[in-house]
Chain A
């Protein structure tokens, strides 16, 4: 990976993390192409080749539906999340579509509990250059922490 690519990806993942952590959540679908695949999948399913994901969005519309559900329909305790994305690696194949993998962990803080790691794992992504902007065409969130502490409300 060239240093230049590493730098632009660093920026992309930083923006992604701060957008999810500090909002507005309505910006989240803009990180994806119109046709896309966003999956949050426990590692054991991924390793066994089982297709079930706890979140599955196949378009920006479905991402939007998830935003709407979080904002309007799901009942949940208030919480803050902090995404930490590291070890970004990408291939050098082409300049407008490439594969990226990165580690992530997300710290969750609820009102009356100690902070904890909500989820830890990796991103397996396909990033494309679209009208001068880098977007996710595919994002697979594969979590090692298969036993989820209660609920996953916000995107990872």
Chain B
């Protein structure tokens, strides 16, 4: 692995982020190894996507393809999606149902646990050829990942010694995770995929950054969905790797405290108000909860749109953002339609999210050209502790505190 020599980062400083972290191939390689293949739980899918025996899906952890399956005992499994023979990506389908996975190249076959179950011509043909006597199918299983599921959400880890999922999330983040995933059956409403030309961390940071939400997202601000003057807070776990932005809806009005916002469209009205017709559905008063679960998941509840955004890094300069929109099995038709309408705010064409994909590209364009410089995270001081308001970059500083430790930078 490449040495990382060119990062100039004063020890203990979480208020500055060298731009090279977003552009450097060696940094990216180390991130894949220490973060995505390290002691982390990565989101891989929902149990409702694997409802039947032998259902499977393919997903990605870091830049590696992984297959997740359900066997005939109902157990979930995950294994590396690359053939033990010559490295071919064995499974090319996004989702499906199959008892065996047969590599297209020389037809080695694997079962739902990734065990090698068949090798053509293993004994040769007509006494000629074949595998040596010491070849063992058992030794050539596909590398297995550890799997954990909570209330219908599946996580996997390349690491054997990763802590329990519940401990990993920590008390506060677990509590908010269980708020959306409360044990009710989940119903997938559909997917949306984007290839964003920016470093994967920019996405993670974006969701930890309430500063931008109340400025860049004119739509949110205009319709009072997210505003700096609303009651809100930022909460993290002890390590700083996960974070929660929790907020409550306000009004479409200008107050002195937000007169810094240049783009507020005070007189914009919706021609069809059904587009935003939020109803309260959780016991508490929060109308927006954005949760980042290290290293690859964003759980969003924005009014009644519920979505999982999975970050799939490709290289230092691009990542796929994979959205899974869902509701609950007990949703009324009316509620499902409401979720689908509010989804207009999200993903590639979203009134809100398109701002983010656009600005992430612009950020990458800037840092790529000025990779020797560093960005600033000074809003609300230098601390890394929970904050009872949104005018803060505390969750980004906490993120980099953890990042530096894991990356040894």
Taking Cβ atoms with an 8 Å cutoff, the residues of A that contact B are: 40-42, 44-45, 48, 50-62, 64-66, 68-69, 72-77, 112, 146-153
Contacts and interface: CB of A to CB of B under 8 A. Distances in A.
Contacts of B359: 75
Contact of A73 (B219, B272, B274, B320): B219
Interface string B338-352: 001101100111110
B224 interface: no
Interface in B356-373: 357-359, 361-362, 365
A144 to B, nearest CB: 12
Contacts of B343: 52-54, 56
B94 interface: yes
Given A147-B320, A148-B195, A150-B357, A54 B348 contact: yes
Given A53-B343, A62-B274, A75-B359, A151 B348 contact: yes
B193 interface: yes
B194 A148 contact: yes
A57 to B, nearest CB: 8
Contact of B191 (A44, A62, A151, A152): A44
Interface in B186-207: 188-197
A55 B354 contact: no
15 contacts: A52-B189, A54-B347, A57-B344, A61-B272, A62-B275, A64-B271, A65-B270, A73-B268, A74-B358, A75-B216, A75-B358, A76-B358, A148-B194, A150-B194, A152-B348
Grouping DSSP codes into helix (H, G, I), strand (E, B) and loop, the A interface class, with mixed when no group exceeds half, is mixed
A55 B26 CA distance: 38
B218 interface: yes
B349 A54 contact: yes
Contacts of A42: 190-193
B47 interface: no
Nearest to A148: B348
B215 to A, nearest CB: 10
Contacts of B354: 74, 76, 151-153
Interface of B is mostly: mixed
B190 A75 contact: no
A112 B189 CA distance: 36
**9 closest pairs, A vs B, by CB?**
A52-B190, A61-B272, A61-B271, A50-B190, A45-B190, A152-B349, A73-B218, A64-B271, A148-B348
Contacts of B358: 74-77, 150-151
Given A65-B275, A74-B351, A56 B340 contact: yes
Interface string B249-280: 00000000000000101001011101100000
Contacts of B320: 147
Contact of A75 (B189, B195, B355): B355
B219 A74 contact: yes
Given A75-B358, A151-B354, 15 more contacts: A44-B191, A45-B191, A48-B190, A50-B190, A52-B191, A55-B349, A56-B344, A59-B274, A62-B272, A65-B271, A65-B275, A75-B216, A75-B359, A148-B193, A150-B358
A44 B94 contact: yes
A53 B354 CA distance: 15
B341 to A, nearest CB: 6
Contacts of B341: 56, 58
Contacts of B362: 77
Interface in B302-341: 320, 325, 336, 340-341
Nearest to B265: A72
Nearest to A77: B358
A153 B218 CA distance: 15
Contacts of B222: 73
A58 B273 CA distance: 11
